[in-house]
Amino acid sequence: MNKLKFASDIRTVKDLLRLSTADLAKQIQVGSASVERWLAHKSPPRRDSLESFYSFAYAQGIRLNGIKSQLRIEELTQQNRIPLFHGSKCGLDGPPALGRCRSGNDFGKGFYCGESFDQSASFVAASDRGIAYVLGFDPTGLVSKTYSVNNEWMLAVALFRGRLTGYKDHPVIRQIGEEVRKCDYIVAPIADNRMYEVINAFIDGDETDVICEHSLAATNLGRQYVLLSDQAFDKLEVLESCYLCKAERRDLLQRSAEASAQGLDKAKVARRAYRGQGVYIEELLSWES
């Protein structure tokens, strides 16, 4: 699904750097005729040409994706639509649809988007074909539920990831599942591998709910939107795809690693600060409750 605004990006870089078509062509080592064809939408660029152009712009300090994502946020907010971002390791093969989604994620089968461009792009930055998408979402008339970092959210994630088989008939767990299945979309904290480790510690009975909640809150990953129904997909529009050059992917991975290390330190401090507080899962989900 090619939504790359390549010609527009070329014009932006030319304007910002005050380059002629010939000057830009020389910098990215292609002929001027090639750039002219791209600008006129007469021929698609090869992948090595994309890498050359976007790497050149990035090396000049032009953060095209950051600029465009911020402008899209402003535009969509004015339209009363929610700006969202999605990272794909090899690109979308068509408009997002429930039938193309995989199961086994935080809230089961659905399409997962984030509120931050960098956050969504960092999830696919390790892939040399990773692509980030900008989307607009209109929630009007849809049923939703918003989760915060608490034990209800931890139990929901554990349930849909198949970690609560021993409690699947518990009334609390049944209610959590029913509430999610009634929704067209969910808004919830993003859970990465660090968060799953903490959630698993709670599910395995190694940590209390309070310790895990504060440990998870310390990671501060942001929120995700999970589209769960055809009605929600009808309200979603893919506006643009963003090419991630090698240097940008490297910087995204570095910032993500730094944030991860800081989050782990915060989680360790939280574990010490709240030691002895809260209840374990067998207490929370005792059959007498």
Return the domain boundaries, the chain.
63-284
All residue ranges of the chain with pLDDT < 70 are: 1, 218-221, 287-289
DSSP designation for 4: B
> The whole model's pTM is what?
0.91
Contacts of residue 180, defined as CB under 8 A and 6 or more positions apart, other chains included, come to: 107, 108, 145, 156, 160, 186, 228
Q: Is 238 helix (H, G, I), strand (E, B) or coil?
A: strand
pLDDT for the residue numbered 60: 97
Query: Where do we find the tokens 């998870």?
Result: 216
DSSP designation for 99: G
pLDDT for the residue numbered 289: 46
pLDDT for the residue numbered 165: 87
Pairing type for strands 82-88 and 131-137 reads antiparallel
Per the CB < 8 A criterion, the answer to whether 215 and 271 are in contact is: yes
Q: What is the pLDDT of residues 250-288, one digit of tens each?
A: 999 999 888 878 777 877 887 888 888 999 999 988 865
Which amino acid is present at 168? Answer: K
Name the token pair of 81.
């639509």
